[in-house]
Structure 1
């Protein structure tokens, strides 16, 4: 069985090849006379959703019709796992179809299986309905493009905690963030402490009573300075 790899906008690594090679042994258990399996990895250069930026397409080529499966994911390994599951399911269905014999195992004809389904009356031809559906899909795509913006603003709301500036510095270091919002217990003001460089930190406090022309108060002190009340 021959495995062919190809990539578009991405390099197919040796680690990925080894991962796929190990999985492909299951294909030989479900079908015979496989000539080759094509594995195609595609990375969308300008994907809007990074969770589906990578796609993997698997194609089994044998004497019968080719069987394909495709899936997208955040990385090629996740996309491959989903596509491979689909491929195995389709291979099982193809194998079961080959095992069907006459009699009770004969599949039901299409006209028999659909005879009890309700008939949908319409005054439009299939071509007209198809064209209308395509037009509706194109209009929806245009509407989505018109509303798309690369700038995304997300809001998160957290409970306000009253603490000292030193405690806020400790909290910031514990969570590993470059800043930390809190209410200063010294004056009850909404403040944010942030990391500057090395062992220096800054504090910004909002005071609605101040104007732009007022002299802004500043304070410089040491961490856990005992002289600060």
Structure 2
């Protein structure tokens, strides 16, 4: 079941906007088991040029969904971001279900922790993330990286049992670092 954390920057989150966000993003619930509990973090922004940006992050036990869209209409941005999340889920489920049937691998889990005890020096660490490395192949790691919108992704290679990193190169292709 999805619960919602909706906040606005430079915009008041009215009851109409809140209800519309909940109505649209709740449609994603059909892709998950009833046992899945998640919080959808929705950030609504209005810029001075009257464009509206909607960012949605849904951390799940096996995946973190994230999408953002900008348009000239708040409701349009909500629709666009919902469609983008739905495409991500469909793509993920198709690839992972195929891989799971072939290899029997489990899905990755992520845990995020904001570090509030920041050191007072020039090399300040402003955020700490902890991840549980789950076995997967490099193709699934690239899929996870793209879904998160990151430039790199650390994972446990299912073939070698070692830690590896996939990353996006400047030319748009992908690289793989295998750690001994």
When the two structures are superposed, what TM-score results if normalisation uses the length of structure 1? 0.41
Corresponding residue for 2:47? 44
Instruction: Report if the CA contact (8 A) 1:31-1:95 is conserved.
Output: no
Aligned partners of 1:59 and 1:67 also within 8 Å: yes
Q: Which runs of 5+ in 1 are unaligned?
A: 111-128, 131-229
Aligned to 2:40, the other structure's residue is in SS state strand
Whose radius of gyration is greater, 1 or 2?
Answer: 1
**Per the alignment, in what secondary structure is the counterpart of residue 6 of structure 2?**
strand
Highest relative contact order (Cα 8 Å, sep 6+), 1 or 2?
Answer: 2
In structure 2, the partner of 1:20 is 21
Cα separation, 2, equivalents of 1:31 and 1:66 = 13
Instruction: Tell me the SS of whatever aligns to 1:29.
Output: helix
Query: After the TM superposition, which residues 128-147 of structure 1 pair with which residues of structure 2 at under 5 Å, given as runs?
Result: none
Contact persistence 1:34–1:60 (CA under 8 A): no
| d(CA) in 2 for partners of 1:6, 1:68 | 16
Per-residue CA deviation, residues 82-138 of structure 1 (Å, 9 max, x unaligned), is: 1111011001112222311218xxxx976xxxxxxxxxxxxxxxxxx95xxxxxxxx
Tell me the distance in 2 between the aligned counterparts of 1:98 and 1:88.
15
1 or 2, which has the higher strand percentage?
Answer: 2
2:89 is aligned, of 85, 88, 91, to 91
Question: How large is the Cα RMSD of the aligned pairs?
Answer: 2.3
State whether residues 34 and 61 of structure 1, in contact with CA within 8 Å, keep that contact through their aligned partners in structure 2. Answer: no
Q: Structure 2, unaligned stretches of length 5 or more?
A: 104-136, 140-168, 171-180
| Superposition deviation, residue 17 in structure 1 | 1.1
Runs (4 or more) in structure 1 with deviation over 2 Å come to none
